[in-house]
Structure 1
Amino acid sequence: MLTLEEIFPPFGLRLRTPRLELRILQDGDLPELMVAVDAGIHEPGQSPFSVPWSEAPAEELPANMARFHWGTRSGFTPEKWELAFGVWFEGALIGSQSLTAHDFAKRRAVESGSWLRKDFQGWGIGKEMRAAILLYAFDFLGASMAESSAMTWNRRSLGVSYALGYLDNGLRREYDSQGGATEVQHLRLDAQNLLRPAWTLDVAGHEAFARFVGLTPPAK
Protein backbone atom coordinates (compact mmCIF):
# COMPACT_ATOMS: atom_id res chain seq x y z
CA MET A 1 0.00 0.00 0.00
CA LEU A 2 1.31 3.45 -0.92
CA THR A 3 1.93 6.02 1.79
CA LEU A 4 0.37 9.48 1.61
CA GLU A 5 3.82 10.93 0.84
CA GLU A 6 4.24 8.50 -2.06
CA ILE A 7 0.82 9.46 -3.44
CA PHE A 8 1.51 13.21 -3.14
CA PRO A 9 5.25 13.83 -2.68
CA PRO A 10 4.92 17.46 -1.45
CA PHE A 11 3.61 15.97 1.80
CA GLY A 12 7.03 14.41 2.33
CA LEU A 13 8.95 17.69 2.23
CA ARG A 14 10.50 18.84 5.52
CA LEU A 15 12.55 22.02 5.89
CA ARG A 16 14.28 22.47 9.25
CA THR A 17 16.07 25.55 10.56
CA PRO A 18 17.58 26.04 14.04
CA ARG A 19 14.15 26.92 15.48
CA LEU A 20 11.54 25.93 12.92
CA GLU A 21 10.10 23.04 10.96
CA LEU A 22 8.23 23.71 7.73
CA ARG A 23 6.04 21.02 6.21
CA ILE A 24 3.04 21.02 3.88
CA LEU A 25 -0.24 21.53 5.72
CA GLN A 26 -2.56 18.53 5.70
CA ASP A 27 -6.24 18.28 6.61
CA GLY A 28 -5.41 17.15 10.13
CA ASP A 29 -3.49 20.41 10.67
CA LEU A 30 -6.42 22.68 9.82
CA PRO A 31 -7.92 22.87 13.34
CA GLU A 32 -4.55 23.91 14.79
CA LEU A 33 -4.07 26.33 11.91
CA MET A 34 -7.36 28.01 12.86
CA VAL A 35 -6.11 28.36 16.44
CA ALA A 36 -3.15 30.34 15.04
CA VAL A 37 -5.42 32.49 12.87
CA ASP A 38 -7.82 33.15 15.75
CA ALA A 39 -4.90 34.26 17.94
CA GLY A 40 -4.54 37.25 15.60
CA ILE A 41 -2.26 38.14 12.70
CA HIS A 42 -2.70 41.91 12.50
CA GLU A 43 -4.67 44.74 14.04
CA PRO A 44 -8.35 44.93 13.01
CA GLY A 45 -8.78 46.81 9.75
CA GLN A 46 -5.08 46.66 8.91
CA SER A 47 -4.88 43.60 6.68
CA PRO A 48 -1.47 43.34 4.98
CA PHE A 49 -2.86 40.97 2.34
CA SER A 50 -3.92 41.94 -1.19
CA VAL A 51 -6.86 39.61 -0.67
CA PRO A 52 -7.99 40.38 2.91
CA TRP A 53 -8.85 36.77 3.72
CA SER A 54 -8.13 37.20 7.43
CA GLU A 55 -11.00 39.70 7.75
CA ALA A 56 -13.71 37.31 6.56
CA PRO A 57 -16.60 36.79 9.01
CA ALA A 58 -15.61 34.40 11.80
CA GLU A 59 -18.22 31.86 10.73
CA GLU A 60 -16.83 31.74 7.17
CA LEU A 61 -13.08 31.79 7.79
CA PRO A 62 -12.53 28.10 8.75
CA ALA A 63 -14.19 26.77 5.58
CA ASN A 64 -12.41 29.41 3.50
CA MET A 65 -9.08 28.24 4.88
CA ALA A 66 -9.89 24.63 4.11
CA ARG A 67 -10.95 25.49 0.55
CA PHE A 68 -7.71 27.38 -0.01
CA HIS A 69 -5.50 24.49 1.06
CA TRP A 70 -7.57 21.95 -0.85
CA GLY A 71 -7.25 24.20 -3.89
CA THR A 72 -3.45 24.36 -3.69
CA ARG A 73 -3.38 20.56 -3.89
CA SER A 74 -6.05 20.04 -6.56
CA GLY A 75 -4.41 22.61 -8.83
CA PHE A 76 -0.87 21.33 -8.31
CA THR A 77 0.93 20.54 -11.59
CA PRO A 78 4.59 20.62 -12.68
CA GLU A 79 3.78 23.79 -14.64
CA LYS A 80 2.01 25.63 -11.81
CA TRP A 81 2.46 24.75 -8.16
CA GLU A 82 2.22 26.15 -4.67
CA LEU A 83 3.85 24.73 -1.57
CA ALA A 84 1.74 25.90 1.38
CA PHE A 85 4.02 25.14 4.32
CA GLY A 86 2.91 25.27 7.91
CA VAL A 87 5.50 26.72 10.29
CA TRP A 88 6.05 24.92 13.60
CA PHE A 89 7.96 26.44 16.51
CA GLU A 90 8.57 24.31 19.60
CA GLY A 91 5.81 21.96 18.46
CA ALA A 92 3.20 24.70 17.91
CA LEU A 93 1.82 25.68 14.50
CA ILE A 94 2.27 29.46 14.38
CA GLY A 95 1.95 30.49 10.74
CA SER A 96 2.30 29.65 7.08
CA GLN A 97 4.98 30.21 4.44
CA SER A 98 4.21 29.61 0.77
CA LEU A 99 6.46 29.05 -2.22
CA THR A 100 4.89 29.24 -5.68
CA ALA A 101 6.10 28.86 -9.24
CA HIS A 102 4.75 29.12 -12.78
CA ASP A 103 6.62 27.37 -15.61
CA PHE A 104 9.48 26.83 -13.21
CA ALA A 105 11.49 24.58 -15.55
CA LYS A 106 11.76 27.50 -18.00
CA ARG A 107 11.64 30.59 -15.76
CA ARG A 108 13.52 29.34 -12.68
CA ALA A 109 11.61 31.95 -10.68
CA VAL A 110 9.59 31.62 -7.48
CA GLU A 111 7.32 33.83 -5.39
CA SER A 112 6.54 33.76 -1.70
CA GLY A 113 3.90 34.83 0.78
CA SER A 114 3.50 34.30 4.49
CA TRP A 115 1.69 35.11 7.71
CA LEU A 116 2.63 34.69 11.35
CA ARG A 117 0.73 34.83 14.62
CA LYS A 118 0.96 38.34 16.01
CA ASP A 119 2.35 37.17 19.37
CA PHE A 120 5.30 35.53 17.59
CA GLN A 121 6.16 38.56 15.46
CA GLY A 122 9.31 40.50 16.29
CA TRP A 123 11.30 37.35 17.20
CA GLY A 124 13.10 36.99 13.86
CA ILE A 125 10.88 34.04 12.94
CA GLY A 126 9.53 35.71 9.79
CA LYS A 127 13.05 36.13 8.47
CA GLU A 128 14.01 32.57 9.41
CA MET A 129 11.04 30.96 7.67
CA ARG A 130 11.54 33.07 4.53
CA ALA A 131 15.23 32.20 4.50
CA ALA A 132 14.27 28.52 4.68
CA ILE A 133 12.19 28.57 1.50
CA LEU A 134 14.75 30.74 -0.31
CA LEU A 135 17.57 28.33 0.51
CA TYR A 136 15.40 25.47 -0.67
CA ALA A 137 14.47 27.26 -3.89
CA PHE A 138 18.00 28.37 -4.76
CA ASP A 139 20.14 25.50 -3.48
CA PHE A 140 17.89 22.52 -4.07
CA LEU A 141 15.41 23.42 -6.83
CA GLY A 142 17.86 25.54 -8.82
CA ALA A 143 15.85 28.77 -8.87
CA SER A 144 17.70 31.85 -10.10
CA MET A 145 15.31 34.53 -8.85
CA ALA A 146 12.65 35.10 -6.17
CA GLU A 147 9.93 37.72 -6.04
CA SER A 148 7.81 39.08 -3.22
CA SER A 149 5.67 42.12 -2.44
CA ALA A 150 4.24 44.05 0.48
CA MET A 151 2.19 47.17 1.02
CA THR A 152 4.49 50.13 1.52
CA TRP A 153 3.22 50.71 5.06
CA ASN A 154 4.08 47.13 6.05
CA ARG A 155 7.58 47.94 7.25
CA ARG A 156 8.00 44.65 9.09
CA SER A 157 7.46 42.54 5.96
CA LEU A 158 9.63 44.84 3.87
CA GLY A 159 12.31 44.68 6.55
CA VAL A 160 12.44 40.90 6.28
CA SER A 161 12.89 41.17 2.51
CA TYR A 162 15.62 43.80 2.68
CA ALA A 163 17.45 41.84 5.40
CA LEU A 164 17.68 38.89 3.01
CA GLY A 165 18.94 40.92 0.05
CA TYR A 166 15.78 41.76 -1.95
CA LEU A 167 15.79 44.97 -3.99
CA ASP A 168 12.82 47.19 -4.88
CA ASN A 169 11.29 46.26 -8.21
CA GLY A 170 8.49 48.75 -8.87
CA LEU A 171 5.23 49.92 -7.30
CA ARG A 172 1.62 48.97 -7.99
CA ARG A 173 -1.52 50.69 -6.71
CA GLU A 174 -4.26 48.51 -5.20
CA TYR A 175 -7.35 48.93 -3.05
CA ASP A 176 -6.86 48.04 0.60
CA SER A 177 -9.32 46.18 2.82
CA GLN A 178 -11.03 49.48 3.70
CA GLY A 179 -11.64 50.38 0.06
CA GLY A 180 -8.91 53.02 -0.14
CA ALA A 181 -5.93 53.11 -2.48
CA THR A 182 -2.62 51.74 -1.27
CA GLU A 183 0.80 51.27 -2.81
CA VAL A 184 2.33 47.80 -3.11
CA GLN A 185 6.11 47.47 -3.27
CA HIS A 186 7.38 44.69 -5.50
CA LEU A 187 10.73 43.12 -4.67
CA ARG A 188 13.24 40.91 -6.46
CA LEU A 189 16.09 38.77 -5.21
CA ASP A 190 18.60 37.15 -7.56
CA ALA A 191 20.13 33.97 -6.18
CA GLN A 192 23.65 35.34 -5.99
CA ASN A 193 22.47 38.30 -3.87
CA LEU A 194 20.86 36.28 -1.08
CA LEU A 195 22.22 37.39 2.30
CA ARG A 196 22.66 33.91 3.68
CA PRO A 197 22.05 33.02 7.32
CA ALA A 198 24.81 31.49 9.40
CA TRP A 199 22.88 28.24 9.77
CA THR A 200 22.42 25.37 7.29
CA LEU A 201 19.01 24.24 6.08
CA ASP A 202 18.13 20.58 6.67
CA VAL A 203 15.87 19.14 3.97
CA ALA A 204 14.01 15.82 3.74
CA GLY A 205 11.88 14.57 0.85
CA HIS A 206 13.51 16.68 -1.85
CA GLU A 207 14.32 14.00 -4.42
CA ALA A 208 10.75 12.68 -4.59
CA PHE A 209 9.37 16.20 -4.86
CA ALA A 210 11.86 17.20 -7.57
CA ARG A 211 10.83 14.20 -9.67
CA PHE A 212 7.16 15.04 -9.07
CA VAL A 213 7.56 18.51 -10.62
CA GLY A 214 9.72 17.27 -13.49
CA LEU A 215 13.19 18.22 -12.26
CA THR A 216 15.09 15.13 -13.37
CA PRO A 217 17.72 14.63 -12.21
CA PRO A 218 16.91 16.61 -9.04
CA ALA A 219 18.81 19.89 -8.73
CA LYS A 220 20.49 18.61 -5.57
Structure 2
Amino acid sequence: MTSLADIWPPFGLTLTTPRLSIRPVFDDDIPAAVAAARSGVHEPGKSPFSTPWTDLPDHELAPNMAQWYWRCRANFTQESWTLLLAVWNDNEFLGVQDVGAKNFNTLKTVGTGSWLKQSAQGQGFGKEMRAAVVSYAFDYLGAEVAESEAASWNQQSLGVSTSLGYEPNGIFREGWGDTVQEVQKVRLTPTTFKRPDWTLKVQGHEELKTYLKL
Protein backbone atom coordinates (compact mmCIF):
# COMPACT_ATOMS: atom_id res chain seq x y z
CA MET A 1 0.00 0.00 0.00
CA THR A 2 1.34 3.43 -0.93
CA SER A 3 2.07 5.64 2.09
CA LEU A 4 2.18 9.43 2.40
CA ALA A 5 5.97 9.20 2.63
CA ASP A 6 6.03 7.37 -0.72
CA ILE A 7 4.16 10.29 -2.26
CA TRP A 8 5.93 13.11 -0.38
CA PRO A 9 9.39 12.01 0.88
CA PRO A 10 9.74 14.71 3.58
CA PHE A 11 6.82 13.09 5.42
CA GLY A 12 8.96 10.01 6.09
CA LEU A 13 11.60 11.79 8.17
CA THR A 14 11.69 11.29 11.95
CA LEU A 15 14.39 12.54 14.32
CA THR A 16 14.44 10.98 17.79
CA THR A 17 16.27 12.34 20.84
CA PRO A 18 16.12 11.06 24.43
CA ARG A 19 12.90 13.01 25.12
CA LEU A 20 11.57 14.13 21.76
CA SER A 21 10.11 12.82 18.53
CA ILE A 22 10.60 15.40 15.77
CA ARG A 23 8.82 14.88 12.45
CA PRO A 24 7.05 16.87 9.74
CA VAL A 25 3.79 18.60 10.60
CA PHE A 26 0.94 16.57 9.10
CA ASP A 27 -2.50 18.01 8.50
CA ASP A 28 -3.79 15.94 11.43
CA ASP A 29 -1.25 17.76 13.65
CA ILE A 30 -2.48 21.26 12.82
CA PRO A 31 -5.21 21.35 15.52
CA ALA A 32 -2.59 20.41 18.14
CA ALA A 33 -0.24 23.08 16.80
CA VAL A 34 -2.96 25.71 16.96
CA ALA A 35 -3.91 24.68 20.50
CA ALA A 36 -0.26 24.89 21.58
CA ALA A 37 0.12 28.36 20.07
CA ARG A 38 -3.14 29.55 21.62
CA SER A 39 -1.92 28.39 25.04
CA GLY A 40 0.80 31.04 24.86
CA VAL A 41 4.27 31.24 23.32
CA HIS A 42 5.63 34.45 24.85
CA GLU A 43 4.75 37.36 27.13
CA PRO A 44 2.04 39.65 25.73
CA GLY A 45 3.51 42.43 23.62
CA LYS A 46 6.96 40.80 23.55
CA SER A 47 6.95 38.85 20.27
CA PRO A 48 10.27 37.20 19.39
CA PHE A 49 9.14 36.77 15.78
CA SER A 50 9.89 39.12 12.88
CA THR A 51 6.35 38.38 11.67
CA PRO A 52 4.21 38.65 14.83
CA TRP A 53 1.91 35.76 13.96
CA THR A 54 1.21 34.85 17.58
CA ASP A 55 -0.46 38.24 18.09
CA LEU A 56 -3.26 37.39 15.69
CA PRO A 57 -6.75 36.94 17.17
CA ASP A 58 -7.84 33.32 17.56
CA HIS A 59 -10.11 33.34 14.51
CA GLU A 60 -7.17 34.43 12.31
CA LEU A 61 -4.39 32.46 14.01
CA ALA A 62 -5.63 29.00 12.99
CA PRO A 63 -6.03 29.62 9.23
CA ASN A 64 -2.77 31.60 9.20
CA MET A 65 -0.87 28.66 10.71
CA ALA A 66 -2.49 26.15 8.36
CA GLN A 67 -1.67 28.29 5.33
CA TRP A 68 1.94 28.57 6.45
CA TYR A 69 2.35 24.79 6.72
CA TRP A 70 0.73 24.27 3.33
CA ARG A 71 2.76 27.08 1.75
CA CYS A 72 6.06 25.59 2.91
CA ARG A 73 5.12 22.25 1.38
CA ALA A 74 3.96 23.82 -1.89
CA ASN A 75 7.18 25.85 -2.22
CA PHE A 76 9.49 22.95 -1.30
CA THR A 77 12.00 22.38 -4.11
CA GLN A 78 15.53 21.06 -4.42
CA GLU A 79 16.77 24.65 -4.70
CA SER A 80 14.77 26.17 -1.83
CA TRP A 81 13.18 24.21 1.00
CA THR A 82 11.92 24.47 4.57
CA LEU A 83 11.16 21.48 6.75
CA LEU A 84 8.57 22.33 9.40
CA LEU A 85 8.95 19.71 12.11
CA ALA A 86 6.47 19.04 14.90
CA VAL A 87 8.10 18.50 18.29
CA TRP A 88 6.46 15.86 20.49
CA ASN A 89 7.22 14.75 24.04
CA ASP A 90 5.35 11.48 24.48
CA ASN A 91 1.91 12.45 23.09
CA GLU A 92 2.18 16.16 23.88
CA PHE A 93 2.71 18.69 21.07
CA LEU A 94 5.35 21.16 22.32
CA GLY A 95 6.05 23.36 19.30
CA VAL A 96 7.72 23.49 15.90
CA GLN A 97 11.37 23.36 14.85
CA ASP A 98 12.23 24.31 11.29
CA VAL A 99 15.35 23.85 9.19
CA GLY A 100 15.69 25.15 5.66
CA ALA A 101 18.07 26.20 2.92
CA LYS A 102 18.44 27.98 -0.39
CA ASN A 103 20.93 26.78 -3.01
CA PHE A 104 22.06 24.13 -0.54
CA ASN A 105 24.03 22.07 -3.07
CA THR A 106 26.38 25.02 -3.51
CA LEU A 107 26.30 26.86 -0.18
CA LYS A 108 25.93 23.89 2.21
CA THR A 109 24.26 26.28 4.64
CA VAL A 110 21.03 25.82 6.61
CA GLY A 111 19.00 28.17 8.74
CA THR A 112 16.79 27.28 11.69
CA GLY A 113 13.89 28.75 13.62
CA SER A 114 11.51 27.45 16.26
CA TRP A 115 8.81 28.05 18.82
CA LEU A 116 7.75 26.32 22.02
CA LYS A 117 4.58 26.78 24.00
CA GLN A 118 5.28 28.53 27.29
CA SER A 119 4.47 25.53 29.49
CA ALA A 120 7.31 23.63 27.78
CA GLN A 121 9.91 26.39 28.11
CA GLY A 122 12.75 26.35 30.61
CA GLN A 123 13.14 22.55 30.51
CA GLY A 124 15.90 22.22 27.91
CA PHE A 125 13.57 21.23 25.07
CA GLY A 126 14.63 24.20 22.93
CA LYS A 127 18.27 23.16 23.09
CA GLU A 128 17.44 19.49 22.47
CA MET A 129 15.35 20.14 19.35
CA ARG A 130 17.86 22.60 17.89
CA ALA A 131 20.70 20.15 18.54
CA ALA A 132 18.67 17.49 16.74
CA VAL A 133 18.18 19.42 13.49
CA VAL A 134 21.74 20.76 13.51
CA SER A 135 23.11 17.25 14.03
CA TYR A 136 20.92 16.06 11.19
CA ALA A 137 22.05 18.87 8.89
CA PHE A 138 25.76 18.30 9.57
CA ASP A 139 25.85 14.51 9.75
CA TYR A 140 23.23 13.49 7.21
CA LEU A 141 22.77 16.38 4.78
CA GLY A 142 26.43 17.40 4.68
CA ALA A 143 25.87 21.00 5.80
CA GLU A 144 28.98 23.05 6.52
CA VAL A 145 27.28 26.01 8.24
CA ALA A 146 24.14 26.44 10.35
CA GLU A 147 22.79 29.95 10.88
CA SER A 148 20.18 31.42 13.17
CA GLU A 149 19.12 34.80 14.50
CA ALA A 150 17.18 36.40 17.31
CA ALA A 151 16.30 39.85 18.57
CA SER A 152 19.18 41.16 20.67
CA TRP A 153 16.94 41.20 23.76
CA ASN A 154 15.93 37.55 23.32
CA GLN A 155 18.48 36.05 25.68
CA GLN A 156 16.56 32.78 25.92
CA SER A 157 17.07 32.01 22.22
CA LEU A 158 20.60 33.41 22.12
CA GLY A 159 21.44 31.37 25.22
CA VAL A 160 20.46 28.18 23.40
CA SER A 161 22.69 29.20 20.51
CA THR A 162 25.65 29.96 22.77
CA SER A 163 25.26 26.66 24.63
CA LEU A 164 25.55 24.78 21.32
CA GLY A 165 28.64 26.67 20.17
CA TYR A 166 27.15 29.28 17.82
CA GLU A 167 29.29 32.36 17.38
CA PRO A 168 28.11 35.97 16.77
CA ASN A 169 27.83 36.78 13.07
CA GLY A 170 26.80 40.43 12.97
CA ILE A 171 23.95 42.66 14.10
CA PHE A 172 21.44 44.28 11.78
CA ARG A 173 18.26 46.36 12.06
CA GLU A 174 15.02 44.93 10.76
CA GLY A 175 11.38 45.86 10.78
CA TRP A 176 9.43 43.46 13.02
CA GLY A 177 5.78 44.18 12.54
CA ASP A 178 5.49 47.92 13.22
CA THR A 179 8.70 48.13 15.29
CA VAL A 180 12.42 48.19 14.52
CA GLN A 181 14.59 45.59 16.23
CA GLU A 182 18.31 44.98 16.48
CA VAL A 183 18.79 41.37 15.41
CA GLN A 184 21.78 39.23 16.34
CA LYS A 185 22.85 36.71 13.72
CA VAL A 186 24.77 33.61 14.87
CA ARG A 187 26.74 30.95 13.02
CA LEU A 188 27.73 27.35 13.75
CA THR A 189 30.06 24.89 12.00
CA PRO A 190 30.76 21.20 12.67
CA THR A 191 34.02 22.15 14.40
CA THR A 192 32.42 24.68 16.79
CA PHE A 193 29.31 22.55 17.45
CA LYS A 194 29.10 21.52 21.12
CA ARG A 195 27.52 18.16 20.53
CA PRO A 196 25.03 16.71 23.01
CA ASP A 197 25.90 13.61 25.01
CA TRP A 198 23.26 11.57 23.18
CA THR A 199 23.08 10.09 19.70
CA LEU A 200 20.40 11.24 17.28
CA LYS A 201 18.25 8.50 15.75
CA VAL A 202 17.12 9.17 12.18
CA GLN A 203 14.49 7.44 10.06
CA GLY A 204 13.43 8.22 6.50
CA HIS A 205 16.58 10.08 5.52
CA GLU A 206 17.57 8.23 2.35
CA GLU A 207 14.30 8.99 0.58
CA LEU A 208 14.54 12.68 1.44
CA LYS A 209 18.20 12.81 0.43
CA THR A 210 17.32 11.30 -2.94
CA TYR A 211 14.47 13.76 -3.42
CA LEU A 212 16.80 16.69 -2.65
CA LYS A 213 19.41 15.23 -5.05
CA LEU A 214 22.15 15.36 -2.43
Shift of 1:175: 3.0
After the TM superposition, list the runs of 4 or more consecutive aligned residues in structure 1 that deviate by more than 3 angstroms.
none
CA distance in 1, matches of 2:98, 2:107: 18
Which residue of the partner structure matches residue 112 of structure 1? Answer: 112
Give structure 2 stretches of 5+ with no counterpart. none
CA distance in 1, matches of 2:94, 2:179: 30
Calculate the TM-score normalised by the size of structure 1.
0.95
Aligned to 1:60, the other structure's residue is in SS state helix
Aligned to 2:96, the other structure's residue is in SS state strand
CA distance in 2, matches of 1:180, 1:140: 38
Aligned to 1:159, the other structure's residue is in SS state helix
CA distance in 2, matches of 1:142, 1:32: 32
Shift of 1:180: 3.1
Aligned to 1:208, the other structure's residue is in SS state helix
CA offsets, 1:138-158, max 9 Å, x none? 001000000000001100000
Give structure 1 stretches of 5+ with no counterpart. 216-220
Shift of 1:176: 3.7
Which residue of the partner structure matches residue 187 of structure 2? Answer: 188
Which residue type is aligned with residue 203 of structure 2?
A: A
Calculate the TM-score normalised by the size of structure 2.
0.98
Which residue of the partner structure matches residue 42 of structure 1? Answer: 42
Q: How does 1:135-214 map to 2 (within 5 A)?
A: 135-177=135-177, 179-214=178-213
Shift of 1:99: 0.3
Shift of 1:90: 1.9
Paired residues, what number? 214
Which residue of the partner structure matches residue 59 of structure 1? Answer: 59
Which residue of the partner structure matches residue 20 of structure 1? Answer: 20
Shift of 1:2: 2.3
Identity value in percent: 48
RMSD of Structure 2 on Structure 1 (CA): 0.9
